[in-house]
Structure 1
């Protein structure tokens, strides 16, 4: 029998990572939680919101998708489990034995996770917004999908959360420990921008809007405020953070033992 049948191909690695993604329970749990939390928080806000309560100046898309404060962690955990989870179970040895060049595994994991995360979050956003708006009708937060900036912000939020998930995947490759990676992800996403923002220098203040969580906030606004980065630079900054994390992960993946 020809050995060509057993040759490692990009398509084969991609298919393998696709199957691995869907055969672990954590994938279903984290994706379901992402949708349930987003929809649940959006409906809760819509049901309890009253005009004149002090939140009238909050961007409508940010208000409806406020569940992202939780879902960015949930979807980050999914990315971490795809890489650090394999190290914790020892499955990574079998994976790298099957794909000795290693890097195709990382790129395939990132591609599969990115495609799935973007699809799920985008569908959830376009379901959550109109549902929440049925409860916000007649308030100062009433809006439509066809209003300027609304659809762009819903797509931007999905793109931002997807990039955070892929960044978390890179962290999982770097740290190779699920608890350590989750700690680093939460610290870098939620805590570091606040610490840097407290530094009394203009350069720190100018840099904060381009940190991942702040860039995500900008992408989730139909009309970003003056203090935020505009949406194009915010998306670019988030993509660069993700690319840098994956680049360092790829370098270490090639150099160190599994």
Structure 2
């Protein structure tokens, strides 16, 4: 048989292949390494600073919350990375090649969300656990001395990582909706981080109750061994964040399917 008679194997698009492609895209970006390192360093540095300077004045604050103050900063870093992961392709024009390779479109967005969620959760959980253990070097013998095996500690570290991951998925969804890095960052910070504080100033009980179910407020009830006052229950908070993330990703999926690149 001559070489002219050989028919090339048809191109097969699989979910595994799309996931692998998005995994390589994420790790080949220089911004990924810089942002992840910065996020982890912030949590660890703030945790060490808080623990090494503790003098007993903050005894009423939950130990896990106390040593993980840095997650408030790392969350913003990871959210920006989530936006860059999707909206960055629109700014560079690479999205055309991506959608050509994945013509059905939706698996592309879902793969991005899955890959980024796995990376964000793993990094956040490991960073939380390391920060907690390192902080205990200074907190040993104080009223904030705890171990990973103490009741509620591992759950608090895990729920903190889960909450941050879901917030980052919301950011990724906003990036997919707006297709603009500056616009998505501004919209995320304004609507998710600033708006709840503004609404809480309104002297209305209904608004105060509703604000508790906004993403940033729901996330604030996570990452604590004891129940945080004036917040919804941790289980309810995780469900609330999951629904917010699912809604934003679903809206982004709908627009990705209907509009041109």
Q: TM-score range by the shorter chain?
A: over 0.9
1:10 correspondence with 2:15? yes
Within 5 Å, which residues of 2 pair with 1:114-153?
114-153=117-156
**Aligned counterpart, 1:72:** 75
Within 5 Å, which residues of 2 pair with 1:112-191?
112-191=115-194
**Aligned counterpart, 2:27:** 22
The Cα of 1:7 is off from its aligned counterpart by 1.8
Q: Give CA-to-partner distance per residue, 1:171-209, whole Å, 9 cap, x none.
A: 111011111111111112211111121222211111222
Q: How many residues align?
A: 255
**Aligned counterpart, 1:48:** 53
**Aligned counterpart, 1:104:** 107
What RMSD, in angstroms, separates the aligned Cα atoms of the two structures? Answer: 1.1
The Cα of 1:227 is off from its aligned counterpart by 0.9
**Aligned counterpart, 1:204:** 207
For 1:149 and 1:203, locate their aligned partners in 2 and report how far apart those are by CA, in whole Å: 31
1:242 paired residue among 242, 245, 255: 245
For 1:138 and 1:184, locate their aligned partners in 2 and report how far apart those are by CA, in whole Å: 45
Residue 149 of structure 2 aligns to a residue whose secondary structure is: coil
For 1:202 and 1:244, locate their aligned partners in 2 and report how far apart those are by CA, in whole Å: 26
The Cα of 1:2 is off from its aligned counterpart by 3.7
**Aligned counterpart, 1:32:** 37
> Which 4+ runs in 1 deviate beyond 6 A?
none
Give unpaired runs (5+ residues) of structure 2.
Answer: 1-6
Residue 219 of structure 1 aligns to a residue whose secondary structure is: coil
For 1:86 and 1:66, locate their aligned partners in 2 and report how far apart those are by CA, in whole Å: 32
The Cα of 1:225 is off from its aligned counterpart by 2.5
For 1:140 and 1:207, locate their aligned partners in 2 and report how far apart those are by CA, in whole Å: 35
Q: Give CA-to-partner distance per residue, 1:98-141, whole Å, 9 cap, x none.
A: 11110000000000001111111111111110100111122222
Q: Report the TM-score, using the length of structure 1 for normalisation.
A: 0.96
**Aligned counterpart, 1:63:** 66
The Cα of 1:16 is off from its aligned counterpart by 0.6
For 2:47 and 2:126, locate their aligned partners in 1 and report how far apart those are by CA, in whole Å: 14
The Cα of 1:34 is off from its aligned counterpart by 1.3
For 1:170 and 1:2, locate their aligned partners in 2 and report how far apart those are by CA, in whole Å: 38
